[in-house]
């Protein structure tokens, strides 16, 4: 399926300028061609092109398919990597696997203190289109760890590399439950952050015997939750 993405599209009307350009100027679609538009909010629209304009492609909706949200939510709060390509790779892969919410964290040991949210949104949109998911993940602004941890977090987990008793995520998580998983930066969370998270009720977890990079840990955690819900 060839999927176009327009978060403002709800009924017959014009495709966004960027997607119109891609549809008409790049893919060379013509009048009366049939295309599918996703709004990233659970709807796929099968449409006929009625005005093949490269800036405002006019569409007529033929069929609408609506998809229910999953009965569980995956929220990964993760420190962006110093190499932004690795963080974008993380965003792409967890979108393909299935995720609802991402919060970039600013931690004590973070090596990246700025993030271009518009660039991250483009990565999420491309991955949503490629994987044919009806819902685009939500990504929040870069949030200080101490600010994030003060909000209510139910079924929360924190992955870290310090010694101590930690249960593997696969043995601690119960299927059909929403989960919030915290993943630290390349230098790990500080001990103070780990202690604060645990004082707020988050459970320390292991993701296996291997020492994982930040972005790999985020993908592994996301995959485990999805796998346990299949």
Choosing from 66, 90, 114, the residue where a domain stops is 66
pLDDT value for 164: 87
Predicted confidence (pLDDT) per residue in 174-211, tens digit: 999 999 999 999 999 999 999 999 999 999 999 998 98
Residues 224 and 126 placed together within one structural domain of the fold: yes
Residues 123 and 203 placed together within one structural domain of the fold: yes
Q: Quick check: 11 pLDDT over 80? A: no
pLDDT-based confidence at residue 152 (cuts at 50, 70, 90): very high
* Mean of the per-residue pLDDT values of the chain: 95
186-189, long-range: CB < 8 A, 24+ apart: 186/79, 186/81, 186/82, 186/109, 186/111, 186/213, 186/214, 187/109, 187/111, 188/109, 188/160, 188/161, 188/162, 189/107, 189/108, 189/109, 189/145, 189/158, 189/160
Residues 155 and 84 placed together within one structural domain of the fold: yes
Residues 189 and 215 placed together within one structural domain of the fold: yes
Residues 115 and 170 placed together within one structural domain of the fold: yes
Residues 62 and 78 placed together within one structural domain of the fold: no
Predicted confidence (pLDDT) per residue in 50-61, tens digit: 999 999 999 999
pLDDT value for 175: 94
What is the number of structural domains in the chain? 2
Percentage with pLDDT > 70 across the chain: 99
pLDDT value for 128: 95
User: Exposed/middle/buried for 226, CB within 10 Å: 0-12, 13-18, 19+?
Assistant: middle
- Averaged pLDDT for residues 14-42: 94
- List, edge to edge, every strand of the sheet that includes 43-51: 3-5, 34-38, 43-51, 58-66, 13-14
| CATH code, domain with 195 | 3.40.1280.10
Percentage with pLDDT > 90 across the chain: 93
Choosing from 66, 84, 113, the residue where a domain stops is 66
Residues 114 and 215 placed together within one structural domain of the fold: yes
Give bridge partners of residue 101 from the DSSP assignment: 75, 138
pLDDT value for 1: 77
d(CA 85, CA 188): 19
- In terms of residue numbers, what domain contains 212? 74-228
Q: Quick check: 95 pLDDT over 80? A: yes
């Amino acid at each position: 399926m060839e999927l176009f993405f327009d978060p403002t599209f709800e009924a017959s009307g014009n495709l966004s300028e960027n997607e119109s350009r891609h549809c008409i100027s790049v893919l060379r679609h013509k009048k009366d061609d049939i295309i599918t538009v996703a709004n990233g909010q659970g709807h796929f629209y099968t449409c006929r092109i009625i005005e093949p304009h490269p800036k405002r492609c006019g569409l007529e909706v033929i069929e609408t398919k609506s998809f229910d949200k999953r009965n569980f939510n995956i929220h990964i709060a993760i420190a962006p990597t110093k190499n932004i390509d690795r963080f974008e790779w993380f965003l792409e892969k967890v979108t393909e696997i299935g995720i609802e919410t991402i919060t970039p964290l600013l931690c004590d040991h973070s090596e990246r203190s700025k993030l271009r949210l518009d660039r991250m949104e483009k990565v999420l949109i491309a991955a949503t289109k490629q994987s044919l998911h009806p819902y685009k993940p939500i990504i929040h602004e870069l949030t200080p760890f101490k600010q994030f941890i003060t909000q209510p977090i139910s079924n929360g987990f924190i992955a870290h590399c310090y010694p101590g008793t930690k249960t593997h995520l696969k043995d601690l998580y119960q299927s059909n439950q929403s989960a919030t998983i915290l993943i630290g930066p390349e230098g790990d969370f500080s001990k103070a952050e780990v202690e604060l998270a645990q004082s707020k009720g988050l459970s320390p977890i292991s993701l296996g015997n291997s020492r994982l990079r930040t972005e790999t840990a985020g993908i592994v955690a996301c995959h485990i939750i999805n796998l346990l819900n299949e």
